[in-house]
Structure 1
Amino acid sequence: MVEHIVLIKFSNETTKQQKDELIRRTLALKGAIPGIVDIQQGHNFSERSKGYEVGLTVRLTDREALADYGPHPEHQKIVFYLHEIGVEDSIIVDFDIAD
């Protein structure tokens, strides 16, 4: 299995409603993209976040599923929405989960 982690920083103009909508849309990917085992996303509450406001974890069956996830049309809709609402930066980490 593979864990895909994303931290997202937004512009000052991005509203809480837009962030909530992003989370709603992202969580719906579980039923739409093959290979997703679990998906979680939420608002950060840590004071150590360095400005990253939303965190995402996606657990996928394997690296092939991860490779298919990125260009999948439903995921690309999320990427487009992120840019539309004002994503400023993101950090992405992918790793194999030890058995």
Structure 2
Amino acid sequence: MITHIVLFKLKDGSPESVAQTVQVLKNMEGKIEELRSIEVGTDVIHSERSYHIALVTRFDSLDALNAYQVHPEHKKVIAHMSEVREASVSVDYES
């Protein structure tokens, strides 16, 4: 199992902007065969070092993660994130 975690800091951290982006991320659910699970959460602490959104996705293998990366539904998300993202960090690990 491969877990892919991405944290996003948005240019506009307003509740409306965060909610819109959360929905864009959640819209991938059920549309990408390789995507085994998806969880999207928003920050509740709001500290200086906080990011606005956490995305946690799981895949059966690295090949499945690679297929997700180029899937048309994921590319829609990438386009949206390119417009609204100030910064992001990610980690991928095997369990």
Structure 2 distance, partners of 1:49, 1:3, is 26
* Alpha-carbon offset, residue 23 of structure 1: 1.3
Equivalenced residues, count: 95
Structure 2 distance, partners of 1:44, 1:74, is 25
* Alpha-carbon offset, residue 49 of structure 1: 6.8
User: Which residue number in structure 2 is paired with residue 29 of structure 1?
Assistant: 28
**Structure 1: 5+ residue stretches without partners:** none
The one-letter code of the counterpart of 1:93 is V
Partner of residue 90 from structure 2, selected from 48, 69, 92: 92
> TM-score of the superposition, structure 1-length normalised?
0.84
- Structure 2 contact 43–50 (Cα < 8 Å) conserved: no
User: Which residue number in structure 2 is paired with residue 10 of structure 1?
Assistant: 10
> Cα gap change, 1:49/1:61 in structure 2, threshold over 3 Å: closer, same or farther?
farther
* Alpha-carbon offset, residue 22 of structure 1: 1.7
* Alpha-carbon offset, residue 19 of structure 1: 1.8
Structure 2 distance, partners of 1:78, 1:27, is 10
- Structure 2 contact 6–89 (Cα < 8 Å) conserved: yes
The one-letter code of the counterpart of 1:5 is I
* Alpha-carbon offset, residue 51 of structure 1: 3.3
**Structure 2: 5+ residue stretches without partners:** none
User: Which residue number in structure 2 is paired with residue 81 of structure 1?
Assistant: 80
The one-letter code of the counterpart of 2:88 is S
- Tell me, what secondary structure is at the counterpart of 2:90? strand
Q: Runs of 4 or more off by more than 4 Å in structure 1?
A: none
* Alpha-carbon offset, residue 83 of structure 1: 2.1
> TM-score of the superposition, structure 2-length normalised?
0.87
